[in-house]
């Protein structure tokens, strides 16, 4: 992660905050207010460690961390190649070296600058911790990101949905040894956020992304492998028989999730470096939405590749939290393609509630163009599909405790035999003089907007 921070600094994308700030609400309020700005807090009250946040608030930033040249391939293409063809090895694994850590001893979470995020949350939350656990009977690890409520100096309550880690605990029916890493390499963080098949270690995907350069070490208490250069390492065990109340917590929608009884992780050993950087993620930010939505986009892409000849773009919209609403731009070869795209999107991604299909001449990332397509190409009697009683997401407060929802599809594509000339946007030919004048206006407006933001920033609140 430090190499990534250095790369951001060299590109003048990282802003360092030197003012003394508190981990209780102050850091989170700044991160929330500047979601597109990677920040490094160098002077944190009651802590010897720095805090970094908003590191992956856009695909551009994540691409820098992964060393992806987006002029040659998209981030989705890069990730899909690694998922489809993971490395045969999870990485180079060495023995644990106590000497690389400044502190290596009994767990004491009070030493870490763990943030308090929103006013009515249950307490301090680790939001970027990756839990590594062995698949039973194998030498491979499962990696998954979980929010963790700090209960004491050595205990956290982890929100665990019924996926792989939950299955591992069921299969073992006993305490599960785990290692929790904070601040791993970007490829490891992204891989841990993906939704892969049970039994496939996310390390193999990360190792592929890193060109077979993933360097791992065995944890001190177990054979669980962790990245050699992760910033903070916690070791312990997950016990489903020990439960605690977890929540309220602000989740993806920006609303408070319900309180649940969740399993406890007891942390026995803690390892930190002298210059450790604590990675923070504030819920419901662009960074949170990216890591929630990107795996859904990959599944949608895979489904559409088998049913639609050409897809121009897929936009899991920002206002839909990158998770609930999708616009897909397609090139139709027959009149059923619009509805086929909608149905396949819903089938691939269960959280989706709204899918809008538009033609390939409509930019799915320009929501003004999307609304224009609805205004000029959409007819409700032919283009609406409603699916009731479908599986939704527990993150959606309107879906109830059973997460059952209704889904809406809007087909704003034109019939294949329609006269396209009637539906094209009109254009005006621009001369060099006109372009020069327009550029001068845009430059002036940009300066005015920046000045206005500067004046209003002190009045903003979460």
For residue range 45-78, what is the model confidence (pLDDT) as tens digits? 999 999 999 999 999 999 999 999 988 999 999 9
Residue 110 has pLDDT above 90, yes or no: yes
When pLDDT is averaged across residues 220-243 and rounded to a whole number, the result is 95
Q: What is the pLDDT of residue 459?
A: 37
**By CB neighbour count within 10 A (0-12 exposed, 13-18 middle, 19+ buried), where does 327 fall?**
buried
Per-residue model confidence as pLDDT tens digits over 264-323: 999 999 999 989 999 999 999 999 999 999 999 999 999 999 989 899 999 999 899 999
Q: What's the length of the chain?
A: 462
How far is it, in rounded angstroms, from Cα 355 to Cα 410?
Answer: 6
Query: For 399-413, how does the pLDDT look when each residue is reduced to its tens digit (9 = 90+)?
Result: 888 889 999 999 999
What's the mean pLDDT in 237-256?
94
Residue with tokens 């450790």: 276
Q: Per mean pLDDT, which range of 83-87, 345-349, 350-354, 400-404 is the poorest? A: 400-404
What confidence category does residue 449 fall into, taking pLDDT thresholds of 50, 70 and 90? low
- pLDDT at res. 462: 32
Phi/psi at 48 (5° precision): -95, 0
The CATH code of the domain at 287-423 is 3.40.1670.10
Res 458: pLDDT? 39
The pTM of this model reads 0.87
Whether pLDDT at 137 is above 50: yes
How many angstroms separate the CA atoms of 105 and 455, rounded?
A: 48
* Beta-bridge partner residues of 177: 237
pLDDT value of position 448? 57
What local confidence, expressed as pLDDT, does residue 314 receive? 94
Task: Quote the mean pLDDT of the chain.
Answer: 92
Sign of the dihedral through C-alpha 356, 357, 359, 362: positive
State in words which class domain 86-275 has: mainly beta
Q: Hey, which residues are catalytic here?
A: 251
Q: Which pLDDT belongs to residue 460?
A: 36
Of the candidates 145, 139, 146, the one whose C-alpha atom is nearest the C-alpha of residue 91 is: 139
Phi, psi of 375 (to 5 degrees): -70, -30
Sequence spans of domains, the chain = 1-55, 86-275, 287-423
pLDDT score of 456: 43
What is the pLDDT at residue 445? 64
Question: Roughly how many angstroms between the first and final C-alpha of the chain, as a whole number?
Answer: 28
Contacts of 120 (CB under 8 A, 6+ apart): 248, 256
pLDDT band at 248 (very low <50, low <70, confident <90, very high): very high
- Percent of the chain at pLDDT above 70? 96
Distance CA 202, CA 163 (A): 14
């Amino acid at each position: 992660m430090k190499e990534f921070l250095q790369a951001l600094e060299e590109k003048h994308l990282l802003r360092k905050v030197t003012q003394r700030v508190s981990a209780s609400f102050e850091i989170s309020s700044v991160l929330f207010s500047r979601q597109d700005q990677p920040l490094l807090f160098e002077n944190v009250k009651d802590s010897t460690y720095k805090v970094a946040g908003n590191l992956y608030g856009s695909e551009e930033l994540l691409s820098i961390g992964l060393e992806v040249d987006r002029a040659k391939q998209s981030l989705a293409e890069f990730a899909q190649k690694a998922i489809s063809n993971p490395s045969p090895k999870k990485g180079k694994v060495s023995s644990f070296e106590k000497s690389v850590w400044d502190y290596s001893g009994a767990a004491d979470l009070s030493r870490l600058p763990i943030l308090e995020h929103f006013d009515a949350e249950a307490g301090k939350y680790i939001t970027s911790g990756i839990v590594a656990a062995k698949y039973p009977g194998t030498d491979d690890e499962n990696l998954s990101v979980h929010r963790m409520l700090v209960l004491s100096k050595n205990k956290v309550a982890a929100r665990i949905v019924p996926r792989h880690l939950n299955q591992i605990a069921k299969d073992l029916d006993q305490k599960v040894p785990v290692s929790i890493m904070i601040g791993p390499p970007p490829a490891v963080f992204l891989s841990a956020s993906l939704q892969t098949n049970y039994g496939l270690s996310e390390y193999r995907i990360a190792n592929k992304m890193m060109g077979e350069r993933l360097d791992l070490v065995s944890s001190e208490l177990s054979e669980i492998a962790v990245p050699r250069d992760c910033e903070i390492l916690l070791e312990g065990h997950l016990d489903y028989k020990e439960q605690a109340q977890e929540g309220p917590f602000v989740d993806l929608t920006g609303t408070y999730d319900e309180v649940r009884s969740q399993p406890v992780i007891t942390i026995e050993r803690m390892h930190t470096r002298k210059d450790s950087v604590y990675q923070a993620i504030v819920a419901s930010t662009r960074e949170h939405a990216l890591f929630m939505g990107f795996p859904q986009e990959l599944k949608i892409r895979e489904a559409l590749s088998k049913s639609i000849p050409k897809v121009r773009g897929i936009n899991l919209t920002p206002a839909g939290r990158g998770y609930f609403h999708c616009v897909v731009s397609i090139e139709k070869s027959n009149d059923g393609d619009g509805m086929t795209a909608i149905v396949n999107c819903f089938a691939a991604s269960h959280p989706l509630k709204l899918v809008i299909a538009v033609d390939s001449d409509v930019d799915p990332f320009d929501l003004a163009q999307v609304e224009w397509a609805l205004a000029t190409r959409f007819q409700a009697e032919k283009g609406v599909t409603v699916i009731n009683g479908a599986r939704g997401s527990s993150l959606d407060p309107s879906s109830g405790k059973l997460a059952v929802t209704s889904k809406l599809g809007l087909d704003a594509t034109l019939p294949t035999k329609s006269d396209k000339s009637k539906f094209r946007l009109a254009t005006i030919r621009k001369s060099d003089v006109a372009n020069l004048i327009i550029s001068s206006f845009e430059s002036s407006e940009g300066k005015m907007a920046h000045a206005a933001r500067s004046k209003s920033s002190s009045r903003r609140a979460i």
